[in-house]
Amino acid sequence: MSETQTIARREAAPQPCPPPAHVAIIMDGNGRWAARRGLPRVEGHRRGVEAVRRSVRAAIDLGVRYLTIYSFSSENWRRPPAEVADLMGLLKLFVRRDLAELDAANVRVRIIGDREGLSPDIAGLLIEAEERTARNTGLTLAVAFNYGGRQEIVRAARRLAEAVAAGTLRPDEIDADRLAGALDTVGIPDPDLVIRTSGEQRLSNFLTWQTAYSEYVLIPDFWPDFDHGAFAAAIDEYHRRDRRFGGLSEKAG
């Protein structure tokens, strides 16, 4: 075989698909994971934190640029007070133990969600996480805390209404881009892929606006069992999808 033929074959070889730029994860099943093992629910949440650590490392390894995790929804306050206290304790522990490691790994932390009414100690930890990592240029880890997609849209609409009332914005200037710019996720691209663990098949008020054209991969395993292999498998499934965004399929010719 000539050198020219060798080069031609090398150029024709299939190239690896780029990873999705933004992966969002609904981390579900901590309590059921614990219940099946006869363990208290808080142990499931502790193991869930370990899965978060694995997922951050996997995202970096797989080349994902943005990772959003649904850590605590605005509806989770309805859970028993003892469980909410356990979850807040785990959040504090995660920030105190893992923030230095995230910073050293060049991870930038963003917090999305409603901060009004949070206790000063929790609010302070969220600010610390963002400020300490603000200059990092690697993976952006967006933590959805006290977050609800509908509530986020309401906050964005309120901001735009206030701008109209102040005379700095005309109603006819409000469009999809303007509303997106008023959301908590401003500066973060919409998710390409949404992963949900535990086999549930609903969005649960997560990134309601941003996931309009996301691909969904539903995993039957509970969140504490999620690992690098499961993350990579979800991305493989994403690459098998035909994303048309309302247009015709490229595969249709």
The verdict on whether residue 203 carries a ligand-binding annotation is yes
The verdict on whether residue 29 carries a ligand-binding annotation is yes
106 is catalytic: no
Residues 6+ apart with CB under 8 A from 49: 90, 93, 94
The verdict on whether residue 198 carries a ligand-binding annotation is no
76 is catalytic: yes
The verdict on whether residue 196 carries a ligand-binding annotation is yes
Catalytic pick from 76, 103, 136, 190?
A: 76
Neighbours of 85 (CB within 10 A): 12
Angle, helices 81-104 vs 120-133, to 10°: value is 20
The verdict on whether residue 170 carries a ligand-binding annotation is no
Q: Tokens in use for 118?
A: 């949070």
> Rounded distance, CA 174 to CA 161, Å?
10
The verdict on whether residue 33 carries a ligand-binding annotation is yes
> Rounded distance, CA 110 to CA 71, Å?
12
Catalytic pick from 28, 86, 98, 192?
A: 28
Residues 6+ apart with CB under 8 A from 234: 23, 193, 195, 217, 219
The verdict on whether residue 135 carries a ligand-binding annotation is no
The verdict on whether residue 22 carries a ligand-binding annotation is no
Catalytic residue list: 28, 76
**What residues form the annotated binding site for substrate?**
29-33, 41, 45, 73-75, 77, 79, 196, 202-204
